Structure 1
Amino acid sequence: MSLTNRILLAMGLAIALGSALEALLTRLSPDSLLYQFIMTWLVDGVFDVAGRVFIASLKLLVVPRVLVSLICGMTALSDSARMGSIAGKTIGLYLVTTGMAVTLGLAGALLVGPGKGISVVADASFEPKPAPPFTEVLVNMFPTNPFRAMVEGEMLQVIIFALLVGFALTRAGESGERIANWFRDMEAVVMKMVAVLIELAPWGVFALLTQLFATMGFGTVLDLAAYFFTLATLLILHGVVVYPLLIRTLTPLDPRKLLVKMRRAWAFAFSTASSGATLPVTLRTVEMRLGVSKSVAGFSVPLGATINMDGTAIMQGVATVFIAQVYGIDLSLTQLVMVIVTATMASIGTAAVPGVGLITLSLVLQQAGLPVEGVALIIGVDRLLDMIRTSVNITGDATVATIVGYREGQLNEAIYNDPLADHDPDDPSEKIKEMKP
């Protein structure tokens, strides 16, 4: 059985086991020994610890993977003008796709009306964390201490530092080439660490999803079924229709190949609900299976994991309409335009803030003149939906990297079109070496 199928099997078994445990726990007395054993030793013990260790291991590789990949990419791309072109196209595409996403969310929610007929909860309350000013975010992109940025996982600062180091190495002659070779060796080591961790993925995925469904179950989904399924449908539509249309429009590539090769990364994103934690797997997929060069992938994918949140943008559009309908507020055209602009800019402006989805939503609601307390209505199902929108987010990162790679002549079409590149989990780099012209 391939690794992808093993991960999918682990997901299915985890959802089934977690739902069964949740149903059993609702029938047991909290004082019973069986309840204590299941909840304390299994759910909050074995599964919770194993899942958190798996997430920590993924996050461990994020900074070194981004740092060495981006430095190696810059040394391979010595022309700074080409790097400027790559950066401009990448950021431009991210802004366009985010704007399309929030527009799709608004249009779909207005068409379906998920909040109609729902009575507002009188005691709903939500205290949003303050979002930093956009100017402050721009200043904070540039590190004052690169080591602190790496320790704290400030990815925009790490990206800026890596670009500067890579650019300096290309101008430092023989000394720069020696250091660049060291980073290339380090990249091979980090890639092997990623490969080892990926082999353990089925166990980590099983633990994560079992713990989630054992504590949540499907009851919360049924309470907000119209909102949940409207948002889930729009997320899937954006992932499997909008992105392929972009690829078809801007390149001659077959978008189905990208979707097929993203399955393993989707499994990671769905189980972790974190674009950052999935970053090493997304980078590996874009480089090894889609054939995007290290210079483009090393810049586009980490930047996308930080600022590109199409799934979150769709959620903001749907949630804004849902909350307005619950409170009986009709949105004007001006408010709708304000939601699109605010949600697009907020995807960048609050990129480094924990809990970005609910924070950006509270910011959008404030700008649209809607009650921020309405966020409390959707918190119950947000964790499940976050798993889906994270999968959409990483698909957007891979799509933009693929388009930019093709437009810049930095994509190996032989690798992109080769289905075997998706079926060599042990060491796909060997397959790529054979196929390079």
Structure 2
Amino acid sequence: MKVALTGKKGIPMQILIAFILSIVVGIMYPAFAKSIKPLGDIFITLIKMIIVPVIFCTITTGIAGMGDMQKLKRVGTKMLVVYVGMTFVACAIGLGVGYLVRPGMGVTMAASQAFTQVVKTPTVGDFLLAMIPSNFVGALAKGDIVQVLVLGVFVGVALIGLGKKASTVKEVLEQGASISFYIIDIIMLYSPIGVFALMANAVAVYGVSIFGAMMKYIIAEYIAALLIVILVFILPLMLFARINIGKAIKDIGAVFIMSVSTCSGAATLPLAMDTATSKFKLPQWLVDFCLPLGGTVNSTGAAMYKSILIVFASDFYGLTLSVDQMIITVLISTMLSVASPGIPGGGIVMSAIMLNLMGLPYEIAGMLAGIYRLVDMVHTPMNVIGDIVGAILIGKSEGLWSNEEYVKESEA
């Protein structure tokens, strides 16, 4: 089998090579690895530059591509049920594993740092109000992903309602999406360098010593992640979609490596969307609709993390959660995961908010900040891959995707 190493087709293999080399360099040459971090920051900044036009253009054209309101209602309802359901189950699994491993028992961290981020406890009204942009252009300029998504939904619905009257606007947005993806192709040529710099720095900074006192916490995260992958991702794909799991794992490889390296769902979104259409053969309009929204609505990794965090914090401070508090933990984890920003380290702030809502001292978030990158390397792939899994399940239920066509078209 011929493996491409150059051009656009060679990027996944280049990223894999960069990923492996970064670990070696991070261990053997830590000073050099730390010095090249700006090269990784450049990559993340380039992705941030293009993410707003990608999300806005793809959401609007994805909804407009459905053609009618009934189809929008049906697919939109299925998307919410699938994505919120996956997030809810991930919360429950995280809570269960937390009580199985009990990562907070016996942990002492005298050198921990206080969490200095300003934490606000949001009300339901505040949460809903924050989703609605007060200014059309302002939301795009600020880069508020949730508000951009809301704008995209409104514009997409308007395009369906107006039909041919708005055909010119629809064409402009489709061209905007094409331009955005072309820019992404250019940025992706730089991605192996960015991935190398980010991962080499992470290995140099954290090394293997960080696994000491927090080993149980990290183990709990990885066990929960494995269970979610099996129960929430693989089983539904096998039983409902009848997918070829071996082929699917191979096709998702580049997305996995990119998400592990960047720890950013937003940065991985363009590659995930390309993989969903080119590798998994999902319809473009379905991908344009589901994946950008899924990046906000579906956060299995973030939800799992918050549940384990509450168990860790309660054990750390010698507290006992009641059954009611456990149920509230799952519900709040699910809701807060919808608001988690898809950026590196965004979960640290959200974890502080979660602790504050549960009445626990949120200073413990500062203790976990040192190892957050290590666990976020699990969260982000789960979030991103979960979006693709959900889109496949929705495509299967709508008769838009089948394993037979997936395998046949890929072979062709």
| Matched residue count | 403
**Cα distance change on mapping 1:393 and 1:353 into 2, 3 Å:** closer
**Cα distance change on mapping 1:325 and 1:155 into 2, 3 Å:** same
Counterpart CA distance in 2 for 1:258 and 1:6 is 20
TM-aligned CA deviation for residue 382 of structure 1: 0.8
Q: Which moved more, 1:363-372 or 1:199-208?
A: 363-372
**Cα distance change on mapping 1:375 and 1:189 into 2, 3 Å:** closer
CA radius of gyration, larger in: 1
1:82 aligns with 2:85: no
Q: Does the CA-based 8 Å contact 2:112-2:366 persist in structure 1?
A: no
Q: Does the CA-based 8 Å contact 1:296-1:410 persist in structure 2?
A: no
1:139 to 107, 110, 129: 129
Report the residue type matching 1:76 in the other structure.
G
Give a deviation string over 1:302-344, Cα, whole Å, max 9, x none.
Answer: 1121232211111122222222222222322222112111111
Counterpart CA distance in 2 for 1:266 and 1:73 is 24
Counterpart CA distance in 1 for 2:19 and 2:101 is 30
Aligned to 1:12: 20
Q: Does the CA-based 8 Å contact 2:295-2:342 persist in structure 1?
A: no
Aligned to 1:426: none
1:410 aligns with 2:400: yes
Query: What is the Cα-based RMSD across aligned positions, in Å?
Result: 2.6
SS in 1 for 2:29: helix
Q: Which moved more, 1:411-420 or 1:318-327?
A: 411-420
2:183 to 177, 193, 200: 193
Report the residue type matching 1:74 in the other structure.
I
TM-aligned CA deviation for residue 372 of structure 1: 2.3
TM-aligned CA deviation for residue 196 of structure 1: 2.9
TM-aligned CA deviation for residue 123 of structure 1: 6.5
Q: Does the CA-based 8 Å contact 1:155-1:302 persist in structure 2?
A: no
1:73 aligns with 2:62: yes
Ranges in structure 1 where 5+ consecutive residues have no aligned partner: 26-37, 422-434
Aligned to 1:150: 140
Counterpart CA distance in 2 for 1:185 and 1:414 is 32
TM-aligned CA deviation for residue 412 of structure 1: 6.4
Aligned to 1:424: none
**Cα distance change on mapping 1:184 and 1:353 into 2, 3 Å:** closer
Q: Does the CA-based 8 Å contact 1:121-1:377 persist in structure 2?
A: no
Give a deviation string over 1:181-232, Cα, whole Å, max 9, x none.
Answer: 3333333333232233323321111111112222222211223111112212
Aligned to 2:34: 43
Aligned 1:260-299 pairs, distance under 5 A: 260-299=250-289
Give a deviation string over 1:59-117, Cα, whole Å, max 9, x none.
Answer: 22212222222232233211111111222111222221111111111111211222223
Report the residue type matching 1:43 in the other structure.
K
Q: Does the CA-based 8 Å contact 1:261-1:290 persist in structure 2?
A: yes
1:254 aligns with 2:244: yes
Report the residue type matching 1:13 in the other structure.
L
2:383 to 393, 410, 429: 393
Report the residue type matching 2:335 in the other structure.
M
Give a deviation string over 1:284-309, Cα, whole Å, max 9, x none.
Answer: 11222222223322222111212322
**Cα distance change on mapping 1:203 and 1:164 into 2, 3 Å:** same
Identity %: 25
